[in-house]
Protein backbone atom coordinates (compact mmCIF):
# COMPACT_ATOMS: atom_id res chain seq x y z
CA UNK A 1 0.00 0.00 0.00
CA UNK A 2 0.98 3.64 -0.51
CA UNK A 3 0.58 6.79 1.57
CA UNK A 4 0.49 10.40 0.37
CA UNK A 5 1.95 13.25 2.41
CA UNK A 6 0.91 16.78 1.46
CA UNK A 7 3.10 19.64 2.73
CA UNK A 8 1.10 22.81 2.13
CA UNK A 9 3.86 25.40 2.30
CA UNK A 10 3.99 29.15 1.86
CA UNK A 11 5.38 29.18 -1.68
CA UNK A 12 4.45 25.70 -2.90
CA UNK A 13 2.77 22.43 -2.07
CA UNK A 14 5.17 19.49 -1.83
CA UNK A 15 3.69 16.04 -2.25
CA UNK A 16 5.26 12.71 -1.40
CA UNK A 17 4.35 9.09 -2.10
CA UNK A 18 5.65 6.55 0.43
CA UNK A 19 5.30 2.80 0.69
CA UNK A 20 4.77 0.89 3.95
CA UNK A 21 8.51 0.38 4.48
CA UNK A 22 9.03 4.14 4.43
CA UNK A 23 10.62 4.27 0.99
CA UNK A 24 9.96 7.54 -0.78
CA UNK A 25 8.66 6.48 -4.16
CA UNK A 26 8.15 9.89 -5.72
CA UNK A 27 7.90 13.58 -4.90
CA UNK A 28 6.17 16.44 -6.73
CA UNK A 29 6.13 20.18 -6.08
CA UNK A 30 3.66 22.76 -7.36
CA UNK A 31 4.03 26.51 -6.79
CA UNK A 32 1.38 29.14 -6.23
CA UNK A 33 1.52 32.91 -5.74
CA UNK A 34 1.63 34.90 -2.52
CA UNK A 35 0.48 38.51 -2.33
CA UNK A 36 1.61 41.40 -0.14
CA UNK A 37 -1.24 43.95 -0.48
CA UNK A 38 0.36 46.32 2.05
CA UNK A 39 3.72 46.44 3.87
CA UNK A 40 3.75 43.64 6.43
CA UNK A 41 0.68 41.92 4.97
CA UNK A 42 0.80 38.40 3.52
CA UNK A 43 -2.13 36.63 1.83
CA UNK A 44 -2.96 33.69 -0.44
CA UNK A 45 -5.97 32.33 -2.30
CA UNK A 46 -7.03 28.97 -0.78
CA UNK A 47 -8.37 27.86 -4.16
CA UNK A 48 -4.79 27.92 -5.45
CA UNK A 49 -3.79 25.46 -2.72
CA UNK A 50 -6.57 23.11 -3.79
CA UNK A 51 -5.97 23.31 -7.53
CA UNK A 52 -2.22 22.79 -7.25
CA UNK A 53 -2.63 19.95 -4.74
CA UNK A 54 -5.04 18.16 -7.06
CA UNK A 55 -2.66 18.57 -9.99
CA UNK A 56 0.26 17.42 -7.85
CA UNK A 57 -1.47 14.29 -6.53
CA UNK A 58 -2.52 13.25 -10.03
CA UNK A 59 1.10 13.61 -11.15
CA UNK A 60 2.37 11.86 -8.04
CA UNK A 61 0.24 8.75 -8.59
CA UNK A 62 0.89 8.16 -12.28
CA UNK A 63 1.52 4.43 -12.72
CA UNK A 64 0.16 3.59 -9.25
CA UNK A 65 -2.99 1.50 -8.90
CA UNK A 66 -5.51 3.83 -7.33
CA UNK A 67 -6.79 1.06 -5.03
CA UNK A 68 -3.33 0.86 -3.45
CA UNK A 69 -3.35 4.43 -2.10
CA UNK A 70 -4.51 3.77 1.46
CA UNK A 71 -4.39 7.25 2.92
CA UNK A 72 -3.62 10.94 2.56
CA UNK A 73 -2.46 13.26 5.32
CA UNK A 74 -1.09 16.75 5.65
CA UNK A 75 1.56 19.02 7.06
CA UNK A 76 0.73 22.66 6.59
CA UNK A 77 1.73 26.25 7.15
CA UNK A 78 0.32 27.15 10.55
CA UNK A 79 -1.80 30.01 11.95
CA UNK A 80 -3.33 31.11 8.63
CA UNK A 81 -6.92 32.37 8.79
CA UNK A 82 -9.31 30.80 6.27
CA UNK A 83 -12.93 31.89 6.72
CA UNK A 84 -15.88 30.22 5.02
CA UNK A 85 -19.48 31.37 4.59
CA UNK A 86 -22.70 29.38 5.00
CA UNK A 87 -22.04 27.67 1.65
CA UNK A 88 -18.44 26.81 2.62
CA UNK A 89 -17.11 29.34 0.13
CA UNK A 90 -13.97 31.30 0.95
CA UNK A 91 -14.96 34.80 2.10
CA UNK A 92 -11.61 36.56 1.61
CA UNK A 93 -7.97 35.64 0.87
CA UNK A 94 -6.29 33.71 3.67
CA UNK A 95 -4.23 35.84 6.06
CA UNK A 96 -0.97 33.93 6.47
CA UNK A 97 1.32 33.04 9.36
CA UNK A 98 3.89 35.68 8.40
CA UNK A 99 1.38 38.53 8.20
CA UNK A 100 2.17 41.36 10.61
CA UNK A 101 -0.98 43.50 10.52
CA UNK A 102 -2.29 42.53 13.96
CA UNK A 103 -0.03 44.62 16.22
CA UNK A 104 -3.02 46.45 17.74
CA UNK A 105 -4.95 43.22 18.32
CA UNK A 106 -1.96 41.53 19.95
CA UNK A 107 -1.48 44.49 22.27
CA UNK A 108 -5.13 44.24 23.25
CA UNK A 109 -4.89 40.52 23.94
CA UNK A 110 -1.57 40.64 25.77
CA UNK A 111 -2.12 43.85 27.74
CA UNK A 112 -5.90 44.23 28.19
CA UNK A 113 -6.94 40.59 28.43
CA UNK A 114 -3.49 39.91 29.88
CA UNK A 115 -0.73 37.42 29.22
CA UNK A 116 -1.58 35.54 32.40
CA UNK A 117 -5.15 34.91 31.26
CA UNK A 118 -4.03 33.95 27.76
CA UNK A 119 -1.53 31.48 29.19
CA UNK A 120 -4.23 30.06 31.48
CA UNK A 121 -6.65 29.66 28.57
CA UNK A 122 -4.27 28.50 25.82
CA UNK A 123 -0.74 27.98 27.30
CA UNK A 124 0.48 30.79 25.00
CA UNK A 125 0.37 34.55 24.51
CA UNK A 126 -0.59 36.54 21.42
CA UNK A 127 1.82 36.74 18.51
CA UNK A 128 1.16 38.70 15.33
CA UNK A 129 1.01 35.57 13.21
CA UNK A 130 -1.50 33.68 15.38
CA UNK A 131 -5.07 33.16 14.23
CA UNK A 132 -7.05 34.76 17.07
CA UNK A 133 -5.58 38.26 16.52
CA UNK A 134 -6.45 37.91 12.82
CA UNK A 135 -10.08 37.19 13.72
CA UNK A 136 -10.15 40.33 15.85
CA UNK A 137 -8.63 42.29 12.94
CA UNK A 138 -11.35 41.07 10.57
CA UNK A 139 -14.03 41.92 13.15
CA UNK A 140 -12.68 45.47 13.47
CA UNK A 141 -11.68 46.22 9.88
CA UNK A 142 -13.96 44.05 7.74
CA UNK A 143 -17.20 43.73 9.75
CA UNK A 144 -19.18 42.66 6.69
CA UNK A 145 -16.85 39.69 6.23
CA UNK A 146 -16.88 38.89 9.94
CA UNK A 147 -20.68 38.63 9.88
CA UNK A 148 -20.49 36.05 7.08
CA UNK A 149 -18.23 33.65 8.99
CA UNK A 150 -19.66 30.17 9.49
CA UNK A 151 -16.40 28.19 9.66
CA UNK A 152 -12.87 29.12 10.67
CA UNK A 153 -10.17 26.86 9.27
CA UNK A 154 -6.40 26.53 9.00
CA UNK A 155 -4.75 26.18 5.58
CA UNK A 156 -4.16 22.42 5.56
CA UNK A 157 -7.58 21.83 7.11
CA UNK A 158 -9.27 23.66 4.26
CA UNK A 159 -7.53 21.26 1.91
CA UNK A 160 -8.62 18.27 4.02
CA UNK A 161 -12.18 19.61 3.93
CA UNK A 162 -12.12 19.84 0.14
CA UNK A 163 -10.98 16.21 0.01
CA UNK A 164 -13.22 14.71 2.71
CA UNK A 165 -16.15 17.08 3.18
CA UNK A 166 -15.32 17.18 6.90
CA UNK A 167 -14.50 20.33 8.85
CA UNK A 168 -11.62 19.03 10.95
CA UNK A 169 -8.37 20.11 12.49
CA UNK A 170 -5.67 18.45 14.57
CA UNK A 171 -4.30 19.25 18.00
CA UNK A 172 -0.87 20.47 16.86
CA UNK A 173 -2.13 22.97 14.29
CA UNK A 174 -5.00 24.10 16.52
CA UNK A 175 -2.43 24.86 19.25
CA UNK A 176 -1.11 27.76 17.18
CA UNK A 177 -4.43 29.57 16.88
CA UNK A 178 -4.59 31.05 20.41
CA UNK A 179 -8.07 29.55 20.53
CA UNK A 180 -7.10 26.12 21.84
CA UNK A 181 -6.70 24.84 25.38
CA UNK A 182 -3.43 22.99 24.76
CA UNK A 183 -3.24 21.20 28.10
CA UNK A 184 -6.75 19.73 27.77
CA UNK A 185 -6.65 19.43 23.94
CA UNK A 186 -9.95 21.21 23.29
CA UNK A 187 -11.24 24.63 22.21
CA UNK A 188 -10.99 27.37 24.81
CA UNK A 189 -14.49 28.70 25.43
CA UNK A 190 -13.02 31.84 27.01
CA UNK A 191 -10.98 32.66 23.90
CA UNK A 192 -13.90 32.01 21.57
CA UNK A 193 -15.96 34.47 23.63
CA UNK A 194 -13.16 37.07 23.52
CA UNK A 195 -13.05 36.78 19.72
CA UNK A 196 -16.85 36.82 19.37
CA UNK A 197 -16.89 33.40 17.74
CA UNK A 198 -19.36 30.58 18.30
CA UNK A 199 -18.00 27.10 18.95
CA UNK A 200 -20.07 26.00 15.94
CA UNK A 201 -17.65 28.00 13.78
CA UNK A 202 -14.75 25.81 14.83
CA UNK A 203 -13.69 22.52 13.26
CA UNK A 204 -13.87 19.22 15.11
CA UNK A 205 -10.52 18.43 16.76
CA UNK A 206 -8.66 15.18 16.09
CA UNK A 207 -5.31 13.74 17.05
CA UNK A 208 -2.91 14.13 14.13
CA UNK A 209 -2.89 10.42 13.32
CA UNK A 210 -6.68 9.96 13.42
CA UNK A 211 -8.85 9.35 10.37
CA UNK A 212 -11.35 12.16 9.79
CA UNK A 213 -13.10 10.46 6.87
CA UNK A 214 -12.52 9.31 3.30
CA UNK A 215 -12.33 10.97 -0.08
CA UNK A 216 -15.67 12.21 -1.33
CA UNK A 217 -16.83 10.96 -4.72
CA UNK A 218 -16.01 14.35 -6.24
CA UNK A 219 -12.53 14.45 -4.70
CA UNK A 220 -11.78 10.84 -5.64
CA UNK A 221 -12.69 11.56 -9.25
CA UNK A 222 -10.58 14.71 -9.36
CA UNK A 223 -7.59 13.00 -7.76
CA UNK A 224 -7.85 9.78 -9.73
CA UNK A 225 -8.23 7.75 -6.53
CA UNK A 226 -11.06 5.88 -4.79
CA UNK A 227 -13.48 6.71 -2.01
CA UNK A 228 -11.73 4.02 0.07
CA UNK A 229 -8.72 6.33 0.46
CA UNK A 230 -8.67 7.55 4.06
CA UNK A 231 -8.06 11.19 4.96
CA UNK A 232 -5.96 11.55 8.12
CA UNK A 233 -6.02 14.77 10.16
CA UNK A 234 -2.30 15.62 9.77
CA UNK A 235 -0.32 18.25 11.64
CA UNK A 236 1.08 21.75 11.53
CA UNK A 237 4.19 21.89 9.38
CA UNK A 238 6.63 21.91 12.28
CA UNK A 239 4.98 19.01 14.09
CA UNK A 240 4.80 17.11 10.79
CA UNK A 241 8.48 17.83 10.15
CA UNK A 242 9.25 16.60 13.65
CA UNK A 243 7.48 13.31 12.88
CA UNK A 244 9.40 13.10 9.61
CA UNK A 245 12.68 13.49 11.49
CA UNK A 246 11.75 11.11 14.31
CA UNK A 247 11.50 13.95 16.84
CA UNK A 248 8.94 12.18 18.99
CA UNK A 249 8.81 10.90 22.55
CA UNK A 250 10.62 12.74 25.35
CA UNK A 251 13.43 15.30 25.00
CA UNK A 252 14.14 14.91 21.29
CA UNK A 253 15.14 18.02 19.30
CA UNK A 254 14.80 19.12 15.68
CA UNK A 255 15.85 22.32 13.92
CA UNK A 256 14.08 23.27 10.72
CA UNK A 257 15.64 25.70 8.23
CA UNK A 258 12.69 26.37 5.96
CA UNK A 259 11.09 29.66 4.95
CA UNK A 260 10.71 30.09 8.68
CA UNK A 261 13.09 28.55 11.19
CA UNK A 262 12.20 26.50 14.23
CA UNK A 263 13.70 24.65 17.13
CA UNK A 264 11.32 21.92 18.23
CA UNK A 265 11.66 19.95 21.46
CA UNK A 266 9.28 17.04 22.10
CA UNK A 267 8.05 16.18 25.57
CA UNK A 268 5.86 13.51 27.12
CA UNK A 269 4.41 16.05 29.54
CA UNK A 270 2.74 19.45 29.27
CA UNK A 271 4.87 22.45 30.25
CA UNK A 272 4.91 26.21 29.71
CA UNK A 273 7.86 28.61 29.48
CA UNK A 274 7.20 31.19 32.20
CA UNK A 275 8.14 34.09 29.89
CA UNK A 276 6.20 32.72 26.91
CA UNK A 277 9.29 33.05 24.73
CA UNK A 278 8.65 29.54 23.40
CA UNK A 279 5.34 28.14 22.20
CA UNK A 280 3.77 25.32 24.22
CA UNK A 281 1.84 23.17 21.75
CA UNK A 282 0.32 19.71 21.48
CA UNK A 283 2.45 17.33 19.40
CA UNK A 284 1.41 15.05 16.56
CA UNK A 285 2.59 11.99 18.49
CA UNK A 286 -0.17 12.41 21.06
CA UNK A 287 1.97 14.30 23.58
CA UNK A 288 3.40 17.87 23.72
CA UNK A 289 6.28 20.04 22.55
CA UNK A 290 7.99 23.38 23.04
CA UNK A 291 8.91 25.37 19.95
CA UNK A 292 10.80 28.53 19.14
CA UNK A 293 9.90 30.01 15.77
CA UNK A 294 11.69 32.69 13.77
CA UNK A 295 9.75 34.12 10.85
CA UNK A 296 12.62 34.36 8.35
CA UNK A 297 15.27 31.64 8.10
CA UNK A 298 16.15 30.14 4.71
CA UNK A 299 14.10 32.99 3.24
CA UNK A 300 16.87 35.34 4.44
CA UNK A 301 19.42 33.51 2.33
CA UNK A 302 17.02 33.40 -0.62
CA UNK A 303 16.36 37.14 -0.32
CA UNK A 304 20.07 37.95 -0.09
CA UNK A 305 21.18 35.77 -2.98
CA UNK A 306 18.19 35.95 -5.33
CA UNK A 307 17.01 39.50 -4.85
CA UNK A 308 20.11 41.40 -3.76
CA UNK A 309 23.10 39.52 -5.18
CA UNK A 310 21.18 38.14 -8.16
CA UNK A 311 22.39 34.55 -8.24
CA UNK A 312 20.79 31.14 -7.93
CA UNK A 313 24.07 29.33 -7.31
CA UNK A 314 23.88 29.11 -3.53
CA UNK A 315 26.67 26.54 -3.19
CA UNK A 316 29.15 28.70 -5.10
CA UNK A 317 28.44 31.68 -2.83
CA UNK A 318 29.36 29.54 0.18
CA UNK A 319 32.55 28.03 -1.29
CA UNK A 320 34.83 30.79 -0.01
CA UNK A 321 33.70 30.47 3.63
CA UNK A 322 36.42 28.41 5.30
CA UNK A 323 36.66 26.93 8.80
CA UNK A 324 39.10 29.69 9.74
CA UNK A 325 36.40 32.27 8.96
CA UNK A 326 33.80 30.64 11.20
CA UNK A 327 33.44 32.67 14.38
CA UNK A 328 35.73 35.38 12.99
CA UNK A 329 33.32 37.43 10.91
CA UNK A 330 33.12 41.13 11.80
CA UNK A 331 29.72 41.52 10.13
CA UNK A 332 26.46 40.65 11.91
CA UNK A 333 23.00 40.18 10.41
CA UNK A 334 19.65 40.39 12.22
CA UNK A 335 17.30 38.03 10.32
CA UNK A 336 14.04 39.89 10.95
CA UNK A 337 12.77 40.48 7.40
CA UNK A 338 9.16 39.86 8.48
CA UNK A 339 9.49 40.97 12.09
CA UNK A 340 10.22 38.30 14.67
CA UNK A 341 8.37 35.85 16.87
CA UNK A 342 10.56 33.78 19.22
CA UNK A 343 11.85 34.95 21.57
CA UNK A 344 11.29 38.68 20.94
CA UNK A 345 7.64 38.68 19.79
CA UNK A 346 8.10 41.91 17.85
CA UNK A 347 6.46 42.35 14.43
CA UNK A 348 8.20 45.74 14.16
CA UNK A 349 11.73 44.24 14.25
CA UNK A 350 13.62 44.53 10.97
CA UNK A 351 16.61 42.92 9.30
CA UNK A 352 19.93 44.77 9.47
CA UNK A 353 23.60 44.35 8.65
CA UNK A 354 25.93 45.67 11.34
CA UNK A 355 29.72 45.99 11.46
CA UNK A 356 30.57 46.59 7.81
CA UNK A 357 33.80 48.38 6.94
CA UNK A 358 35.62 49.28 3.74
CA UNK A 359 37.17 45.82 3.60
CA UNK A 360 33.85 43.96 4.03
CA UNK A 361 33.35 41.50 1.18
CA UNK A 362 30.37 39.89 -0.47
CA UNK A 363 31.45 36.62 1.16
CA UNK A 364 31.47 38.24 4.61
CA UNK A 365 27.88 39.35 4.12
CA UNK A 366 26.75 35.96 2.83
CA UNK A 367 28.38 34.37 5.86
CA UNK A 368 26.69 36.88 8.16
CA UNK A 369 23.24 35.99 6.79
CA UNK A 370 23.77 32.29 7.51
CA UNK A 371 25.22 33.01 10.94
CA UNK A 372 22.47 35.47 11.82
CA UNK A 373 19.83 32.81 11.33
CA UNK A 374 21.81 30.35 13.46
CA UNK A 375 22.34 32.95 16.20
CA UNK A 376 18.60 33.67 16.24
CA UNK A 377 17.85 29.96 16.61
CA UNK A 378 20.25 29.89 19.54
CA UNK A 379 18.20 32.65 21.20
CA UNK A 380 15.34 30.14 21.53
CA UNK A 381 17.76 27.32 22.38
CA UNK A 382 18.97 29.36 25.35
CA UNK A 383 15.39 29.66 26.63
CA UNK A 384 14.98 25.88 26.49
CA UNK A 385 18.26 25.45 28.39
CA UNK A 386 17.05 27.88 31.04
CA UNK A 387 14.12 25.52 31.67
CA UNK A 388 16.56 22.78 32.63
CA UNK A 389 16.44 20.92 29.33
CA UNK A 390 19.72 19.19 28.50
CA UNK A 391 19.93 19.04 24.72
CA UNK A 392 23.13 17.50 23.37
CA UNK A 393 22.05 16.85 19.81
CA UNK A 394 19.50 17.86 17.23
CA UNK A 395 18.17 16.56 13.96
CA UNK A 396 17.93 19.04 11.12
CA UNK A 397 15.62 19.45 8.14
CA UNK A 398 14.34 22.03 5.66
CA UNK A 399 15.82 23.46 2.50
CA UNK A 400 18.60 25.25 4.39
CA UNK A 401 19.66 21.97 6.00
CA UNK A 402 20.98 20.80 2.64
CA UNK A 403 23.92 23.18 3.09
CA UNK A 404 26.89 21.43 4.78
CA UNK A 405 28.21 24.85 5.79
CA UNK A 406 24.98 25.88 7.48
CA UNK A 407 24.84 22.55 9.34
CA UNK A 408 28.40 23.13 10.58
CA UNK A 409 27.47 26.63 11.74
CA UNK A 410 24.46 25.29 13.67
CA UNK A 411 26.61 22.62 15.36
CA UNK A 412 29.20 25.14 16.50
CA UNK A 413 26.95 28.09 17.34
CA UNK A 414 24.72 25.88 19.51
CA UNK A 415 27.68 23.64 20.49
CA UNK A 416 25.70 20.41 20.02
CA UNK A 417 25.78 17.46 17.62
CA UNK A 418 23.75 17.85 14.43
CA UNK A 419 22.30 14.64 13.02
CA UNK A 420 21.64 14.38 9.29
CA UNK A 421 18.93 11.98 8.18
CA UNK A 422 18.64 9.74 5.16
CA UNK A 423 15.48 11.57 4.05
CA UNK A 424 15.11 15.34 3.79
CA UNK A 425 11.43 15.67 2.99
CA UNK A 426 10.40 16.95 6.41
CA UNK A 427 6.67 17.78 6.67
CA UNK A 428 5.61 15.78 3.60
CA UNK A 429 7.31 12.64 4.94
CA UNK A 430 5.85 13.23 8.39
CA UNK A 431 2.41 13.61 6.84
CA UNK A 432 2.81 10.34 4.91
CA UNK A 433 3.88 8.65 8.15
CA UNK A 434 0.75 9.98 9.88
CA UNK A 435 -1.30 8.58 7.01
CA UNK A 436 0.36 5.19 7.56
CA UNK A 437 -0.39 5.28 11.29
CA UNK A 438 -3.96 6.44 10.68
CA UNK A 439 -4.67 3.56 8.35
CA UNK A 440 -3.19 0.94 10.67
CA UNK A 441 0.16 0.26 9.00
CA UNK A 442 1.89 1.24 12.28
CA UNK A 443 0.46 1.14 15.77
CA UNK A 444 1.93 4.46 16.94
CA UNK A 445 3.78 7.47 15.58
CA UNK A 446 6.83 6.44 17.61
CA UNK A 447 6.75 2.98 16.03
CA UNK A 448 6.61 4.48 12.53
CA UNK A 449 9.52 6.83 13.31
CA UNK A 450 11.61 3.95 14.66
CA UNK A 451 11.21 2.02 11.44
CA UNK A 452 11.38 4.80 8.87
CA UNK A 453 13.80 7.50 10.14
CA UNK A 454 17.57 6.86 10.03
CA UNK A 455 20.60 9.03 10.87
CA UNK A 456 23.32 8.84 8.20
CA UNK A 457 25.77 11.53 9.33
CA UNK A 458 26.63 13.47 12.48
CA UNK A 459 28.38 16.83 12.66
CA UNK A 460 30.26 17.30 15.93
CA UNK A 461 31.07 20.82 17.13
CA UNK A 462 34.72 21.85 16.92
CA UNK A 463 35.97 23.19 20.28
CA UNK A 464 37.97 26.08 18.76
CA UNK A 465 35.21 27.18 16.37
CA UNK A 466 32.56 26.86 19.09
CA UNK A 467 34.65 29.02 21.41
CA UNK A 468 34.98 31.73 18.76
CA UNK A 469 31.25 31.61 18.10
CA UNK A 470 30.51 31.90 21.82
CA UNK A 471 32.09 35.35 21.84
CA UNK A 472 30.33 36.36 18.62
CA UNK A 473 26.97 35.22 19.98
CA UNK A 474 27.41 37.43 23.03
CA UNK A 475 27.98 40.36 20.67
CA UNK A 476 24.96 39.36 18.54
CA UNK A 477 22.79 39.38 21.67
CA UNK A 478 23.48 43.08 22.18
CA UNK A 479 22.30 44.23 18.76
CA UNK A 480 18.53 43.72 18.95
CA UNK A 481 18.05 45.43 22.34
CA UNK A 482 20.10 48.38 21.10
CA UNK A 483 18.08 48.71 17.89
CA UNK A 484 14.60 48.04 19.26
CA UNK A 485 13.89 51.75 19.91
CA UNK A 486 14.98 52.46 16.33
CA UNK A 487 12.60 49.81 14.98
CA UNK A 488 9.76 51.36 17.01
CA UNK A 489 10.59 54.80 15.66
CA UNK A 490 10.72 53.57 12.06
CA UNK A 491 7.34 51.89 12.49
CA UNK A 492 5.77 55.05 13.91
CA UNK A 493 6.98 57.12 10.97
CA UNK A 494 5.46 54.59 8.55
CA UNK A 495 1.91 55.09 9.84
Which residues are catalytically annotated? 237
Let me know: does 208 contact 434? Beta carbons within 8 Å. Answer: yes
The full DSSP string for 92-136 is SPEEPTT--TTHHHHHIIIIIIIHHHHHHHHSS---TTSHHHHHH
Cβ neighbours for 368, distance < 8 A, ≥ 6 positions apart? 329, 331, 332, 333, 353
Q: Is position 78 annotated in a ligand binding site?
A: yes
What span, in angstroms and rounded, lies between the C-alpha atoms of 362 and 57?
A: 41
- Contacts made by residues 400-404, CB under 8 angstroms, sequence distance 24+: 400/257, 400/258, 400/261, 400/297, 400/298, 400/301, 400/373, 401/255, 401/256, 401/257, 403/314, 403/315, 403/318, 403/370
Cα dihedral 165/169/173/177 (nearest 10):
100
Q: What does the H/E/C string look like for 191-252?
A: HHHHHCCCHHHECEEECCCCEEEECCHHHHHHHCCCCCCEEECCEEHHHHHHHHCCCCCCCC
What span, in angstroms and rounded, lies between the C-alpha atoms of 434 and 158?
A: 18
Q: Is position 79 annotated in a ligand binding site?
A: yes
Q: Which of helix, strand or coil describes residue 60?
A: helix
Cis link prior to 343 (omega < 30° from 0)?
yes
Residue 258 gets which letter from DSSP? S
What span, in angstroms and rounded, lies between the C-alpha atoms of 211 and 232?
A: 4
Let me know: does 155 contact 84? Beta carbons within 8 Å. Answer: no
Q: Which residues are annotated as a binding site for substrate?
A: 78-79
Binding-site residue ranges: 78-79
Amino acid sequence: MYYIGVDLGTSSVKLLLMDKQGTVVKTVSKEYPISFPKPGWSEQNPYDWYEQSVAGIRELTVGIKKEEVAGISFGGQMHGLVILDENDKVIRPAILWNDGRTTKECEYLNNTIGKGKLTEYTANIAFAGFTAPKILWVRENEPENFQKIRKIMLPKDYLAYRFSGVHATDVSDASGMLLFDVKNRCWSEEMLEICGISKDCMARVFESYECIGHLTEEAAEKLGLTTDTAVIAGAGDNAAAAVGTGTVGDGSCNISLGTSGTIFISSMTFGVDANNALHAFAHADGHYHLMGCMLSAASCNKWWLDDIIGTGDYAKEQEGITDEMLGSNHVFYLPYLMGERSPHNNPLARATFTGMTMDTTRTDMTQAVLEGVAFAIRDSFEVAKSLGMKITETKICGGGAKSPLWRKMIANILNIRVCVLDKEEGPSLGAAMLAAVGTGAYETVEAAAGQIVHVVDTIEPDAEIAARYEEKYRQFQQIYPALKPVFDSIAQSSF
